[in-house]
């Protein structure tokens, strides 16, 4: 085929594809708001020249203007302009059910964040699990949002995959199977009783959706940004490709044993509902395998007043090592109501008795939290709910000074082992673990 004919054919194909896409989009604004309903709060929503304007009001909870229709798999696009003093978002696959917090709107929210935090395009789980995909590990996405202008968002929700873009820049790559469908909602955030923020606006325009075979229109997948998978005791396709493996299969104790013996303490550590749960005083458990450089991710849930931890570089050699169950510890602790504030080096997400965590965002008791530990050579990171809380280097003079001022001062070369087991701590309180996965680096 001659070059001129190829160019004509390519142009024709482009026009056909463009027309097909235009025909597939459904306009969600239209000439009125009859297909929308307001839930929870009292913010003022108006249809103005083809845009939806939301204005803040005093003493109202978060307000949501929600589609009456529910959507499962879809591609959604919208433009939004938000006052720099406001915080907003767009709910997707969300619900308002009488039996859930008296009808409080809950579900995935695509964040619109004009603050210095810069998490626009991140995914927040409104009224449920909180942050699923903040942008701390996606510096490029944090630069996408432009204050004072309309910003263009694209959301692709197909199966258990939710991906977002802001102004064409990838922001979130989430895998989650909790909710398969729900309404779309436009949020005007509560301002409480701050009269200086009355009348601040969020304006949406060009809200459109593809529901007819959206999988055929998704953006080609790449691995430019990290993926956060919340599949329970299951690996995503990408995780398998990247070399992750499960350390807990959700139904058996395979791969784990007591730190004090070769057996698993079945009466004290039980497995139910896909959770590895410490109930009695059964002692610590450790992995059969040992690890050197690794990235570990697991979800944990604790009761009020619980105390536990995740230790690494544990020798597990009770016969030959008096410190066989001692090592660096990712702290999991929540104070009792009768206790004063916990010491900084005992707070959740910190390095126990050595380093206080930086701004730990704890979801709280009876809600799943996510721990992430990254070890590469002597460098270590602790993450809580996808935000870094601790970063340190083992074996340095600074490290040795910290150890000398801790309860581990008499442990020879504490924290400097090159390899070891991973340990889940028994501290006499109920804690549950699931989705324990690791990638060796």
Contacts of 321 (CB under 8 A, 6+ apart): 315
> Residues 373-400: pLDDT tens digits?
999 999 999 999 999 999 999 999 999 9
pLDDT at 22 over 70: no
Euclidean distance between CA atoms 103 and 100, whole angstroms: 6
Contacts of 217 (CB under 8 A, 6+ apart): 21, 24, 75, 210
Nearest CA to 300 out of 432, 438, 129, 125 is that of 432
The DSSP secondary-structure symbol of 368 reads -
Structure tokens at 13: 């194909």
Domain-wise residue ranges, the chain = 24-229, 237-440
What is the pLDDT at residue 23?
Answer: 58
DSSP 133-167: E-STT-HHHHT---TTS-EEEEEEEETTEEEEEET
Euclidean distance between CA atoms 85 and 191, whole angstroms: 10
338 pLDDT band, cuts 50/70/90, is low
CATH number of 237-440: 2.60.120.560
- Residues of the chain with pLDDT > 70: what percent? 92
pLDDT at 340 over 90: no
**pTM, 2 dp:** 0.91
What is the pLDDT at residue 280?
Answer: 67
Instruction: Among 65-79, 300-314, 325-339, name the most confident range.
Output: 65-79
CA 240 to chain CA centroid, Å, is 19
pLDDT at 179 over 60: yes
Asked if 92 and 66 count as a contact pair (C-beta separation under 8 A), the reply is no
Q: What is the mean pLDDT of residues 58-75?
A: 98
What is the pLDDT at residue 101?
Answer: 97
CATH fourth-level superfamily of 24-229? Exo-inulinase; domain 1 (2.60.120.560)
Q: What is the mean pLDDT of residues 92-119?
A: 98
304 pLDDT band, cuts 50/70/90, is confident
Please indicate whether the domains covering 24-229 and 237-440 agree at the CATH topology level.
yes
Which of 78-87, 245-254, 428-437 has the weakest average pLDDT? 428-437
Q: What is the mean pLDDT of residues 226-247?
A: 98
pLDDT at 199 over 90: yes
Q: Where are the alpha helices (DSSP H) in 45-204?
A: 139-142
Pairing of strands 307-314, 421-424: antiparallel
If DSSP codes are grouped into helix, strand and coil, which group holds residue 340?
coil
What is the pLDDT at residue 406?
Answer: 97
pLDDT at 342 over 80: no
Give me the chain's average pLDDT, please: 92
pLDDT at 17 over 90: no
Torsional class of 206: left (φ above 0), alpha (ψ -120 to 50), beta (otherwise): left
What is the pLDDT at residue 14?
Answer: 43
């Amino acid at each position: 085929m001659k070059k001129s004919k190829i160019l004509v054919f390519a142009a024709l194909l482009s026009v056909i594809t463009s027309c097909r896409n235009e025909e597939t989009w459904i306009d969600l604004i239209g000439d009125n708001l009859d297909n929308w309903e307001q839930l929870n709060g009292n913010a003022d929503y108006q249809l103005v020249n083809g845009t939806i304007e939301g204005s803040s009001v005093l003493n109202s909870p978060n307000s949501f203007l929600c589609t009456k229709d529910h959507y499962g798999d879809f591609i959604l696009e919208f433009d939004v302009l938000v006052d720099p003093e406001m915080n907003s978002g767009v709910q997707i696959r969300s619900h308002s059910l009488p039996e859930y917090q008296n009808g409080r709107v809950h579900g995935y929210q695509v964040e619109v964040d004009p603050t210095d935090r810069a998490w626009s395009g991140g995914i927040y789980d409104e009224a449920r699990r909180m942050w699923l995909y903040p942008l701390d590990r996606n510096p490029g996405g944090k630069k996408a949002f432009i204050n004072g202008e309309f910003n263009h968002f694209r959301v692709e929700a197909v199966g258990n995959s939710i991906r977002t873009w802001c102004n064409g820049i990838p922001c979130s790559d989430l895998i989650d199977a909790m909710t398969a469908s729900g309404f779309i909602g436009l949020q005007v955030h509560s301002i409480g009783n701050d009269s200086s923020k009355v009348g601040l606006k969020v304006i949406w325009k060009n809200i459109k959706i593809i529901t007819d075979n959206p999988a055929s229109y998704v953006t080609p997948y790449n691995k430019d940004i990290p993926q956060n998978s919340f599949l329970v005791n299951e690996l995503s396709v990408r995780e398998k490709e990247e070399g992750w493996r499960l350390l807990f299969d959700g139904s058996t104790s395979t791969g784990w044993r007591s730190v004090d013996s070769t057996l698993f303490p079945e009466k004290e550590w039980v497995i139910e509902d896909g959770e590895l749960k410490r109930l009695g005083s059964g002692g610590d458990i450790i992995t059969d395998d040992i690890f050197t450089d690794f990235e570990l991710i697991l979800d944990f849930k604790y009761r009020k007043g619980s105390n536990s931890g995740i230790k690494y570089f544990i020798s597990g050699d009770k016969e030959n090592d008096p410190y066989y169950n001692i090592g660096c510890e990712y702290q999991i602790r929540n104070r009792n109501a009768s206790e004063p504030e916990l010491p900084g080096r005992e707070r959740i997400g910190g390095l126990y008795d050595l380093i206080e965590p930086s701004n730990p965002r704890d979801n709280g008791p009876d809600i799943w939290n996510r721990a992430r530990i990254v070890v590469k050579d002597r460098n270590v990171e602790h993450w809580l709910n996808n935000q870094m809380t601790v970063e340190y280097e083992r074996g340095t003079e600074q490290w040795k000074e910290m150890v000398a001022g801790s309860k581990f001062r008499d442990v020879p070369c504490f924290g400097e082992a090159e390899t070891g087991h991973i340990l889940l701590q028994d501290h006499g309180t109920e804690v549950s673990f699931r989705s324990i996965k690791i990638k060796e680096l």
